[in-house]
Structure 1
Amino acid sequence: MNKTHFLCLLFSLVLFSCTKKNDVSPRQTTGKINTISVIVDDQLWNGEIGDSIRNKFAAPVVGLPQEEPLFTINQYPIKLLEGFATDSRAIIIVKKDAINKFEIHKNEYASPQNVFHISGKTGAEIIAILEKNTPKIIQIIHDAEIAETQRIIKQSLLNPKIIANKFHISLNVPSGYEYMLHKSKFIWMKKEIISGNTSLLIYQLPLDYLKKDPSLIASIVKMRDSIGEYIHGTEANTPMITEEGYAPYLLKIKLDGKEAYETRGTWELKNDFMSGPFINYVIVDKAYSRLLVLEGFCYSPSKDKRDLMQELEAIIKSLHVKRR
């Protein structure tokens, strides 16, 4: 082989190698929704640091009738920071080190992924870093899990025309849902599951319906209870109402760029035994001079409800109001 042929062959091999390297896609993350991997040695996990992590990331979910953890935690020692332990969408790595550190790495081992690195010289310093950054970590993980749920939902969608025509919105609803009732300003969709069912409500009210005085939450409860004429049990006088024994949680947020109120609580059928959690969003839609209400609720008496409510939240947060 002469020198010219050798150089051409070498150039071709290098070019092929670079092309193959660019074609390699990042490894895809796996795992169940709302599950995080905590990489920390057993000695720290079984002490105050582990207690702090569990108290924060396995705290009860707001608005559920029974206690369920915010996230399911899988713990692995540092030496197992490889293989399946790095496939999670959310990884928290905690260790003692010569410096105090909190860093967030995107797609460090796979994609999509958030890896949180926490280190400190002492246990007390690690706990202090956790205390300071926990709200941010929880929000990032929650947003990523909503995005993953929405990605799964998009694989099979309900025909959007009825919703779009009635409310001038787009909403990604899984194809498993069926229309139970739709009127001029009200839609009820339901999906049957092994342990019960999940429901979505969409309706609208006049822009001035909610009265902030004396109590915004009281107005939202009154609004919810007013739809009992549509959602009720099989017996007479069994409308769906907001459970009276527990005050709902209220949070002001932005949804589709608009002012909105998020309410979480539990519902029940009056004079009946059925109950479950709900998540309700009231969107102040000035362009259409209305309050747009989207609510998800489930009935699953024998099963956990965290992930069912997560799916309902993900559906509602896919909302986009069409321009007028």
Structure 2
Amino acid sequence: MIVKKIQNLFLILITIFAASCSSGTNKNGGSKSHLPVARGEANAILCVMDTSQWNGPIGDALRDIFSEYVPGLPQDEAYFKLRNINPLKMNNILKTGKSMIFVSTMDNQGAQSRAMQNYFTTSSLEKILQDTSLYRLPQKNQFARGQEILHLFGQTGDQLIAHLKRDKEVLRNYFLNIENERIAKGLFKVREKQIEKTLRDAHGFDVQVPYGYDLAKNQRDFIWVRLLDPEYEKNIFVHYRPYNSRDPFDDVLAFREEITSSYMRDIQKPDIFMTLQTENMNIREVNFKGKYAKEVRGLWKLSDISGGGPFVSYVFVDESQKRMYYLEGYVYAPSKDKREFMQEIEVILNTFRSGEELK
């Protein structure tokens, strides 16, 4: 019943915008293939909405969703960079933004809000006024190729705010998934196929390895791949063992310390090893590739305090292999923002496959 209701809701929403948003042509009747290419920096969203609403409670609700700081980073970095666009000042350049949000409510009748309502057909406005459950609709390639737009609307500002607060994670994940897909498209154009073959043949799991990564360590139950640049490092390591105890789930930080103190030691100076910074740890239960997992986001350091940075890790069990896995990605990038580096690391980790997934 729930699935059917969701399907019906999207059918209604698609019908609402069909008159003004044909998937095959632009508003002038031309093919979408002739549209300009969408442009914009990574993790940036243009918010087209009345500036008075942007500076009020609706804008606050949007910032609470999209400008929240990413957990586990050494400095404050937001999920997204938001920029308000006055709808009266929209031009052809701004319309080519990669990611855009169009926000309007029927109870605001200022000049900017009236301009926003021009994006709706008469029948769509009637639907919005009749059904308070309708408040969002995604669109692709409306003004540019590769563009993602999310329309957010409501009868009143308070009504829209209630929807935004209720679906905070859903709305943020919508654009997070879009950004991750964009990253993956460029990241995996060329891959280290020989390393991938080694992981599969010798260890029984897959991870897509982008071009430029090297196999730094390959042991019976531990692998480490890394990309070294003069200004930064990107690293992925995987440890696995037979699953016979839930202890690692009970104390994932102790489990990590056990792994890194054993495998992540300096070859030239073996008394130096990777450990944890105790502050800024974020641990939660998640669904990782369909499996129950513990996710940790936090900060690592070397035991002599000569280096450090952010990491993200997952502990989970593959029942078909009767294995417990520990996956981690971490970055070393002194004096640089870490948000986009860690985003790339997460995209790589999410290509992991094992056991029955490989068949």
Short-chain TM bin: 0.7 to 0.9
1:36·1:90 contact (CA, 8 Å) conserved in 2? yes
Match of 2:167 among 133, 148, 151: 133
Match of 1:223 among 251, 255, 259: 255
String of CA shifts for 1:220-252, please: whole Å, max 9, x gaps. 212211222332356453211122234432222
User: Could you tell me the TM-score, scaled by structure 1's length?
Assistant: 0.82
CA RMSD of aligned residues (A): 2.6
Whole-Å separation in 2 of the counterparts to 1:120 and 1:312: 37
Whole-Å separation in 2 of the counterparts to 1:119 and 1:293: 43
1:265 matched to 2:295:
no
Whole-Å separation in 2 of the counterparts to 1:284 and 1:187: 17
Whole-Å separation in 2 of the counterparts to 1:217 and 1:264: 16
1:83 matched to 2:92:
yes
Larger Rg: 1
Give the aligned residue type for 2:182.
E
Whole-Å separation in 2 of the counterparts to 1:194 and 1:88: 33
Match of 1:68 among 77, 81, 92: 77
1:82 to partner: Cα distance: 4.9
What corresponds to 2:339 in structure 1? 306
1:118·1:129 contact (CA, 8 Å) conserved in 2? no
Give the aligned residue type for 1:163.
L
String of CA shifts for 1:58-113, please: whole Å, max 9, x gaps. 11101112111011123211134453433344321112325465122231514544
Structure 1 unaligned blocks of 5 or more: 1-19
Return closer, same or farther for 1:59/1:22 CA change in 2, 3 Å cut-off: closer
String of CA shifts for 1:275-305, please: whole Å, max 9, x gaps. 1111112231111110122210011120111
71-80 vs 172-181, greater mean Cα deviation: 71-80
2:239·2:326 contact (CA, 8 Å) conserved in 1? yes
Structure 2 unaligned blocks of 5 or more: 1-28, 108-128
What corresponds to 2:321 in structure 1? 288
Match of 2:59 among 47, 50, 56: 50
What corresponds to 1:188 in structure 2? 224
Whole-Å separation in 2 of the counterparts to 1:29 and 1:23: 12
Secondary structure, aligned partner of 2:227:
strand
Whole-Å separation in 2 of the counterparts to 1:38 and 1:21: 26
2:44·2:80 contact (CA, 8 Å) conserved in 1? yes
Whole-Å separation in 1 of the counterparts to 2:141 and 2:89: 16
User: Could you tell me the TM-score, scaled by structure 2's length?
Assistant: 0.75
